[in-house]
Amino acid sequence: MSDVIDNKAHRHFELEVDGHLATEHYKLDGNVITFEHTDVPKELGGKGVGSKLVQGALDQVRSAGLKLIPQCPFVKAWVEKHADYQDLVAR
């Protein structure tokens, strides 16, 4: 697996695996980023690609000093399962 890339032009984080692109779509408003939709191609389903994508994206959110609104149900559930990322959620 490659690294998670912030494709600012398309407003999504992306992770390429085996020729397929998984994406985390977002909108940025000041220092708050809203993760709107996670898209993992069916060919990559069940391989942990969505989790690697979310974790890589959230690591970049943290290093940029942003706060997160996990609008996407997948991201919301992932953050709830990973206590060390819950501090990123905007209150």
The 3-class SS string of 11-74 reads: CEEEEEECCEEEEEEEEEECCEEEEEEEECCHHHCCCCHHHHHHHHHHHHHHHCCCEEEECCHH
pLDDT at 88: 98
Query: Domain 5-88: which topology?
Result: Aminopeptidase (3.40.630)
pLDDT at 10: 97
Distance CA 52, CA 82 (A): 13
- Please write the tens of the pLDDT for every residue from 34-76: 999 999 999 999 999 999 999 999 999 999 999 999 999 999 9
pLDDT at 91: 86
Q: Would you say residue 11 has pLDDT above 70?
A: yes
Answering whether pTM is above 0.85, one says: yes
CA-to-CA dists, residue 24 to 83, 85, angstroms = 20, 16
Q: Would you say residue 1 has pLDDT above 70?
A: no
How many other CB atoms are there within 10 angstroms of residue 36's CB atom?
Answer: 16
